[in-house]
Amino acid sequence: MARPDLETEAGRAAYRAELRRVGWRQRWAGLACIVVAAALVLFARDGRFGLTDNAVMAAYGLLAIGWVLVIYAVFQRTRHHKRRMAEGL
């Protein structure tokens, strides 16, 4: 692959779309984990659906997993960007 064409508007748009595709599954999975964990904490705090304090502990674990996935996706996208920029040299 050659270095992306960032001189034209079409080239920049294509490269932005390429970067958005890198790690999108991990980002969405991480976001889903974070939202589910937040809902679990809120529901367990109010005692809804029969959730107890054990659900809060599980939610914190799910929250940690979600953030790890999001950070990994950002790292993956940054690494991809660095490789693409170095290809033209």
Answer yes or no: are the C-beta atoms of 73 and 23 closer than 8 Å. Answer: yes
Report the domain count for the chain. 1
Condensed to tens digits (0 to 9), the pLDDT of residues 41-73 reads: 988 887 777 888 888 889 999 999 999 999 999
DSSP 8-state assignment for residue 3: P
Asked whether residue 9 is domain-assigned, the answer is no
CA–CA dist 10, 3 (Å, integer): 14
- Predicted TM-score of the model (pTM): 0.80
Asked whether residue 17 is domain-assigned, the answer is no
Give the domain extent around 30. 24-87
Contacts of 40 (CB under 8 A, 6+ apart): 51, 55, 56, 58, 59, 62
Asked whether residue 36 is domain-assigned, the answer is yes
Asked whether residue 46 is domain-assigned, the answer is yes
Amino acid 29: pLDDT: 97
Asked whether residue 6 is domain-assigned, the answer is no
CA torsion sign for 10, 12, 13, 18 is positive
Whether 9 shows a pLDDT value over 80: the answer reads yes
**pLDDT grade, residue 88 (50/70/90)?**
low
